[in-house]
A = this chain, B = another copy of it.
Amino acid sequence: MPTATIELSGHIIDSMMLPRIFDAVMDMGGTFRIEEFHVGQSVDETSYTRIALSHDDIAGLTSIIAACQQQGAALVETASARTEPAPTDGVFPDAFYSTGNQPTRVLVGEDWVEVEGIEMDCGIAVEAGRARCVAVTDVRAGDAIVCGPAGIRVTPVERSRSREIFGFMTSNVSSEKPKHLIIRELAAAMREVRDRNGRICVVGGPAIIHTGAGVHLSRMIALGYVNVLLAGNALAAHDIESQLFGTSLGIDLRNGLPIEAGHEHHIRAINRIRAAGGIRQAVEEGMLTSGVMYECVRAGVEVVLAGSVRDDGPLPDVITDMIEAQRAMRAALRGVELCLMLSSMLHSIATGNLLAAVVKTVCVDINPAVVTKLADRGSSQTLGLVTDVESFLRELSEQLT
């Protein structure tokens, strides 16, 4: 019967690593035997365990090992990572190791090297003693791609022991909770990141504009709290519509009333920016003098507008090829420490796919299903808030001012 031995250390009980490993083994039809177990006697001490795993067949055992690795377990006797060359451009070897978004190291020769740019559902290319995460669209024929579980070590971000806002509330999405203090702590965290020149990313949907919250986001940008803005055509188009026509999707932003024939305003706004050649040009020629996109141009925010098949127009600034858009987002996200995902399921999921688990993330949506969906995706340090994006941004920008 195929067998392997793994070990695991840290706050393995209350960080849920060990319960999840037990679950995985049982779910996948394997068995385990605990060979060693030292329990941390108090809150600050760590625990250690060594576990022998077995399964009827080698494929099953391999899957169990992979699942345990994602929880932070490592094979006791490990060889260097095995690689195979990618067969053609854009294709991994069939047995490629599929990454998670937790910090991951690879045993190259005798060194454990950190995988650069870790991201979910990618491969690991090894070259000249370095390991980097590579998307399937970016792999080139012949790249040495890690295959199988040997030589892999994942270090899950542990749940915080202190009761800070990130982590302990993971997947806690209720709308029936007080949000005051959470927003205050978030503002403090943003101030701290900004003050040491860290990078903050905002992912936003058009509801920010529709609800009249554009002014709050504009203020946050002007105050230097946004380094990267990831959005789609809609946020930018409705922001510009609101500046040129006073409406958002034809709704008068002063009073919330629909304006008959106001529905056309967004396509007229897009057409004018197309005529100008782009958002920056529209700012420079004085056509656009306020709003979220204007503040982004003024403050030098790194903006990536990724297109979608439902777009009207789109604005000339929108990247219409999705592989290009993902590359641009990946580049913009480099170094981001804090990410606010505001009322945009599509762009939030896209961003979540690209983020490492160490990035602190806040998801805000009035629909609990969206918050649950986002909070469930990978990041270990996600705070989900079910609330109105306008009131969230109003209060956050007041706290930041």
- Contact residues of A with B, CB < 8 Å? 13-14, 16, 18-19, 22-28, 31-34, 37, 39-43, 49, 63-64, 66-67, 70, 87-88, 90-92, 94, 96, 98, 121, 136-137, 161, 163, 168-169, 175-182, 206-207, 210-212, 232, 251, 253-261, 264, 266-268, 270-272, 274-275, 306-314, 316, 320-323, 325-326, 329, 346-347, 349-350, 353, 366-369, 372, 386-388, 390-391, 394-395
Minimum CB–CB distance from A234 to chain B (whole Å) comes to: 11
16 A-B Cβ contacts within 8 A? A13-B13, A13-B19, A14-B22, A23-B260, A25-B43, A26-B43, A26-B161, A27-B257, A66-B261, A67-B261, A70-B261, A94-B271, A98-B267, A176-B210, A308-B346, A391-B391
Are A274 and B19 in contact, CB atoms less than 8 angstroms apart?
A: no
In whole Å, how far is A230's beta carbon from the nearest beta carbon of chain B?
9
Q: Do A309 and B310 touch across chains, with their CB atoms under 8 A apart? A: no
Number of identical protomers: 4
- Contact, CB under 8 Å: A181 / B264: no
Q: Is the CB of B309 within 8 A of A346?
A: yes
A181: chain B residues within 8 A (beta carbon): 254-256
Residues in B whose Cβ lies below 8 Å from that of A272: 94
Q: A211 and B179: CB pair below 8 A?
A: yes
- Cα-based distance from A391 to B163 in the complex (angstroms): 25
* A309 and B91 alpha carbons, distance in the complex (Å): 19
Query: What are the residues of chain B within 8 A of A23 when measuring CB–CB?
Result: 14, 260
Assembled-state Cα–Cα distance A63/B267 (Å): 15
Q: Which residues of B contact A369 (CB under 8 A)?
A: 367-368
> Measured between C-beta atoms, what is the minimum distance from A141 to chain B in Å?
12
CB distance from A63 to the nearest CB of B (A): 5
Q: Provided the pairs A26-B161, A176-B207, A267-B121 are in contact, do residues A323 and B322 lie with their beta carbons within 8 angstroms?
A: no
Chain B residues contacting A259 (CB-CB under 8 Å) are 27-28
- Let me know if A27 and B309 touch, CB within 8 A: no
**Complex CA distance for A27 and B25, rounded to whole angstroms:** 30
Report chain B residues within 8 Å CB of A387. 366, 388, 391
4 nearest A-B pairs in the assembled complex, by CB-CB distance: A391-B391, A178-B212, A67-B260, A310-B350
- Taking A168-B257, A232-B309, A307-B309 as known contacts, 10 extra A-B pairs with beta carbons closer than 8 A to each other, sorted by chain A number, are A19-B19, A25-B43, A28-B259, A32-B43, A64-B260, A121-B264, A309-B350, A314-B322, A366-B386, A391-B394
Q: A33-B42, A98-B264, A210-B176 are in contact. Are A310 and B353 (CB under 8 A)?
A: yes
**Contact in complex: B42, A39 (CB < 8 Å):** no
**Cα distance A24–B14 in the bound complex, in angstroms:** 11
Measured between C-beta atoms, what is the minimum distance from A213 to chain B in Å?
8
Most buried by B among A33, A96, A264, A314: A264
Contact B34–A42 (Cβ < 8 Å)? yes
